[in-house]
Structure 1
Amino acid sequence: MKETQFDRSLLVSDYAYHIIQQSFQRFVDQEEEVFQDQDPEALHQMRVGMRRFRTAIQVFGKAIALPQGVNNSSIGKIARILGETRDLDVLKQDLITRYQPLLQNSEQAKFEKVIHHLHQKRGQSFLKLKKTLKSDRYQTLKQSMQDWLAQPTYTKIGDLPVLEILPDLLLPLICQLFIHSGWLVGTTIQTGTVSLIPFENSDELHQQLRKFSHFLHDLRKQIKGVRYQSEFFADFYAESYRERVQEFKQIQEILGTLQDHVVLRNFLETTLKESLDKVLPSIEQAIQEDANVFWQIWQPLQAQYLSSEFRKSLRSFLTEPLT
């Protein structure tokens, strides 16, 4: 693709096929290793591949004519099963490497109970995952895509040059990102003006995290789609575009760490049936310290993405691909 990427005759259909085939193959190639369950990285890569594939279907949806069994809903149901098992792998790694060394002797017994429960839950989740990958739903999805890749079909949009409609492909997800409620967590609004809650008001900020973490989790999912979409078209823009892609990745990782804390707290309190500060105060203290670090890193990015000038500049930049 690199040899023709700036050829004004490069069609949407050709580029859509390239991205979709690449994304599809990325998760299919991981199947065998996922079944073996020896390396958690295989499951991670399969999950990422599924998400990239889902984003590709969304971005090129107007240009491709897919089989009925291949749609956002069917892909999402399978991706969620992958995500459940992957989240437990991340949780186990965090508990053992990040939090276990912090424990007091009095907390060890409770922690061992948590790890035992985690092993059981992960085993059940993996059985569910294997069942899903052997299911008619997944096999139909895979076969339908293989058939489409062998004989792809497109709409009339697919006959247009990529460069002609590139901004129209990119801007929808970007604009949805800009109006996401997650950017407003940790802010106040008076007479239409948005202000960040000062970092010194840490208690209020922590309350915002506990109350509105679901908005930030959803923002993370939105930013993932924007990141993958942006990576699809990185070769069509100036180098500064790649810097923006890296920033999307940074935001995703920051919000990912925050979501890991939410999952961790919920899992621990559900397993032990008590508030975290009572049963594992060392972990509670570590989470609070990480929350302080989160706001220090997050607020400059948050201020940038709340800026109307920044949004205007990014929207304008996306309308000017390299020619």
Structure 2
Amino acid sequence: MESMEPVASPPSLPPSVPSIESHAAESQTAESQTAESQTAESQASSNLTSSNLIDTPLPEASPPATTVSTTLSTTLSTTLNTLADVVQPHLLTNLKHLNKYEEAVLSSFEVEDLHDLRVTWRQLRVILQMLSPVLALSKPKLLKNLQTVTTVIGGIRDTDVLLEQSNHLRSQFLSLPEQLFLAKVTDQLTQQRAKHLKKIQKMLLATRHDRLKQHLHQELTQACDRPVIQQPAIALVPELLSPHWAALWLHPGWWVELPLPAAIYPIDPTAIDPIDHSTIRTVTAPSVAAAFHTLHDLRKAIKRVRYEITFFKALYPRPVLTAIEPLKALQGKLGDLQDTVVLMTYFDQRLKPKQKRRFTQLNALLDQQLQTQWQKLQIDRAACLDITYRTELRQWLFQPQG
């Protein structure tokens, strides 16, 4: 019986080579997908009939550029506060404050009430000067009359400062002749203050002063009829701030240097040598007096800019009001320096040459006071002149928000 040989199985294909059956299946799948895509294309083309194209809305064309700008301008003018909306209520409120402060001054003549009245009148005059290009003020002498009022009320300010500083010096350790001189000065200033108060009282009670305030109220009520003041405030405020802003940073007072003598610190009047301290004569010298006048004018320039920015504070975020604090600090330091200069000038006009040589302790105290104030002022001046600070503040101020 013969044995049977086993039948060999067909060799298997490597994994990378597809079999015939799989190739056929793939071919059928590809053919079916091709047929489906052709059917979808034919259906899509049949849907794009002429009637469907007519019924389908076309996208709207963009309006011309002139139409866009006109629409935007109309929207801004109707949604943003106009300059009149910002200015008129604020000015009328200032007038109400003036009446309140004047009543307080006439009842007590306190220093603080006089200060509030003086500052409010001064702010009103600065703001009206700034707004003069857009306000239709019918009375050209109005601003001049305001200056007369501020001059009369401000005349007592130096007297009050001199009184305060003289009393402070009397509390220091000074020689008997110096104490007697300060006592005489205090009496003279007290009498001078009484005369100033009578002058202020006479002005505030005069019928002419009441007419001035009535004219102011009428002008501010009717001054907002010009077309320019009906424009958005954010478009006009940068232009209104520009003149005094430029005048401030171009002011020569930023670069004034003073040839002051070296100060003695700490002050010990009992140990001071009997030498001739010449600060008073240095301060009153023509060239140095001119330098102090320039510094005083810088202080007034800072004050004007601060008044104007504060007037429009509703158009700026809080960081802007915080950012002008260095200017306020420098204004205060310049004011302290000016008060000392006024005191020294006042003494120089009343001291005899022999007294100027003998009052060594008084001279030493004034030396130290002036030198210390000047050194402190340098810190604030450098902070304000910092280019980064000035650039950021300018960017904020010239981009107000409605």
Question: Per the shorter chain, which TM-score range?
Answer: 0.7 to 0.9
1:84 alignment counterpart? 155
Matched, 1:29 2:29: no
Distance 1:127 1:279 in 2: 37
Matched, 1:301 2:387: no
2:305 alignment counterpart? 226
Matched, 1:176 2:247: yes
What's the CA shift for 1:247? 2.0
Distance 1:274 1:137 in 2: 46
What's the CA shift for 1:229? 1.0
C-alpha distance after superposition, 1:94-128 (max 9, x if no partner): 221x2111133331211111111111211222222
C-alpha distance after superposition, 1:199-233 (max 9, x if no partner): 98999997875441011111111111111111112
C-alpha distance after superposition, 1:116-163 (max 9, x if no partner): 111121122222222222345533321201223454543222110111
What's the CA shift for 1:83? 0.8
Cα distance change on mapping 1:9 and 1:275 into 2, 3 Å: farther
TM-score with structure 1 setting the length: 0.83
What's the CA shift for 1:30? 1.2
Describe how 1:215-294 pairs up with structure 2 within 5 A.
215-274=294-353, 277-278=356-357, 280-294=359-373
Secondary structure class of the residue paired with 2:314: helix
User: 1:157 aligned to 228, 248, 252, which one?
Assistant: 228
1:45 alignment counterpart? 116
User: 1:110 aligned to 181, 186, 198, which one?
Assistant: 181
1:101 alignment counterpart? 171
What's the CA shift for 1:82? 0.7
Distance 2:356 2:79 in 1: 61
* Percent identity of equivalent pairs: 27
What's the CA shift for 1:265? 1.4
Cα distance change on mapping 1:8 and 1:165 into 2, 3 Å: farther
Cα distance change on mapping 1:277 and 1:314 into 2, 3 Å: farther
Residue identity opposite 1:225 in structure 2: R
Cα distance change on mapping 1:122 and 1:276 into 2, 3 Å: farther
Distance 1:61 1:269 in 2: 41
Contact 1:10 1:162 in 2 (8 A): yes
Q: Please, which moves more after superposition, 309-318 or 39-48?
A: 309-318
Distance 1:237 1:101 in 2: 46
Contact 1:13 1:159 in 2 (8 A): yes
What's the CA shift for 1:273? 4.6
Cα distance change on mapping 1:281 and 1:229 into 2, 3 Å: farther
Structure 2: segments with no counterpart, 5+ residues: 1-77, 265-277
Distance 2:394 2:249 in 1: 10
1:127 alignment counterpart? 198
Contact 2:295 2:334 in 1 (8 A): yes
What's the CA shift for 1:66? 2.5
Cα distance change on mapping 1:147 and 1:322 into 2, 3 Å: closer
Distance 1:199 1:301 in 2: 21
What's the CA shift for 1:306? 4.3
Contact 1:15 1:162 in 2 (8 A): yes
Contact 1:47 1:82 in 2 (8 A): yes
What's the CA shift for 1:12? 0.4
Distance 1:112 1:38 in 2: 23
Distance 1:116 1:279 in 2: 22
Secondary structure class of the residue paired with 1:219: helix
Residue identity opposite 1:215 in structure 2: T
C-alpha distance after superposition, 1:237-269 (max 9, x if no partner): 233311222222212111111111121112222
Distance 1:234 1:268 in 2: 42
Residue identity opposite 1:315 in structure 2: R
Distance 2:221 2:393 in 1: 37
Distance 1:39 1:23 in 2: 20
Distance 1:151 1:309 in 2: 42
What's the CA shift for 1:59? 2.4
TM-score with structure 2 setting the length: 0.68
Report which of the two structures shows the higher radius of gyration computed on alpha carbons.
2
Residue identity opposite 2:396 in structure 1: F
Distance 1:276 1:249 in 2: 38
Root-mean-square deviation over aligned CA pairs: 3.1
Distance 2:250 2:130 in 1: 19
Contact 1:171 1:318 in 2 (8 A): no
Distance 2:348 2:261 in 1: 28
Matched, 1:166 2:237: yes
